[in-house]
Chain A
Amino acid sequence: MEILTQPWPWWAAGIIIGLTVPALLLLGNKHFGISSNLRHICAACFPANIKFFKYDWKKESWNFFFVVGIVAGAAIATVFLTNPDPVQIHPDLARDLAANGITHIDGMVPTDLFNWESLLTLRGFILIVIGGFLVGFGTRYAGGCTSGHAIMGLSNLQLPSLIATISFMAGGFLMANLILPHILAL
Chain B
Amino acid sequence: MCLGIPGEVVEIHPEQPDLAKVNVSGVKRLINIGLLSDDPPKPGEWVLIHVGFALSKIDEAEAAAAMEFLESIGQAYEDEIAALRESLIE
To the question of whether A and B form a pair in one complex, the answer is no
Spell out A's residues near B (CB within 8 Å).
none
